[in-house]
Structure formats: structure tokens, C-alpha cells
Amino acid sequence: MSYGDQERPRSVEIGASLLATVGVLIVGRVAYGVAVNLGQDQWSSGARAVFLVLNSFVLVFGLFVLLLGDQVRRGRTWAWITGLVMLPFTILFGVVLLLITALSGAVPWAGAGVVLVAVAALITLSAPRATRAYFTRGPAHPAPPVGQAAWTGGRS
């Protein structure tokens, strides 16, 4: 449970799990939406092609968010920063999904789930001091071996 010599905070574990859950919810929503909408007979072949292309982008986005959850759990700073940038877009996507579903008269479970879990992930990965300290730690510079001079950058 440690990364290098630093113990991974529990808030990082929770935030990474929530981020991965957002990815799973997005992938599940795409799979369900494709299965339901392709079963309808009133779609033309052009409309089906556009629908599949658009959903393929959303699917790739969801899979990337799922990958980010794993990389955040492993302590990768690039994944943490990317997750903090992508989560507001995910919240926006969830709100749009929520509104579209609610306006069509259905219960917006998927949109509400994406929004709630993404907000929780964003708060968990940005608010706790232990999480920020874990990801903003300086690089570990090992001391030179005993008896050798430190590297001077080409100067004597």
C-alpha cells in the first residue's frame, strides 16, 4: 500500500475508486443506450451510423476515465491532474444526460449516478490535504554514495 517510501492516503484510494466507478457508469450507460436504441425500427441507416460514431467517442472517454482511476490509485501525478481536468467535463456530460432523460419523461438514473459519483470523486481528489500532499510531493533525489562527490553539472 505504499508508493515509494510514502504511504498512500485513504482519500487517494477512495478518490481513485470513485473515478473508476465514473468510468464504469459511462461505459455501462453507452452499452445500455446502444442496445436500446439499435433495437428500434424507425432509425435510418445513416442515423444509426451517426449514433454509433458519437457513442464510440463517449465509450473511449469512459474507458479512459476507468484507466485514470487505476493510474491515480498507483500514485501517478499525471493521472491525478488529468482526472481533475476531466471530472468537470464528466459532470457536465452527466448533467446533459440527466436533462435529456428527464425531459423525455424517463427517470434519469444514469445521469444522476454519473453526476453524483463524479462530484464525489472531484471533491475526494482535490479537497483533502493528504491527497494534495501525496500528489504534489517533490521527486525523490537519492543522496550520492558515501565517498563520491555530488554531480556538479560539468563544473570542476
* Residue pLDDT tens, the chain, 156 long: 444 556 889 999 999 999 999 999 999 988 988 888 878 778 888 888 888 899 999 999 999 999 999 999 999 999 999 999 999 999 998 898 888 888 988 888 888 888 999 999 999 999 999 999 999 876 555 555 666 655 555 555
Do 125 and 131 contact (CB within 8 A), yes or no? yes
Q: What pLDDT shows up at residue 25? A: 92
Q: What cell does 79 get?
A: 493521472
| C-alpha closest to that of 61 among 37, 95, 112, 25 | 25
Query: Does the pTM exceed 0.85?
Result: no
**Phi/psi-derived region of residue 8, left when phi > 0, alpha when psi is between -120 and 50, beta in every other case:** beta
How far from 49 is each of 2, 55, 101, CA to CA, in Å?
Answer: 47, 10, 21
Do 127 and 12 contact (CB within 8 A), yes or no? no
Q: Report how far residue 110's alpha carbon sits from residue 28's, in angstroms, rounded to the nearest whole number.
A: 9
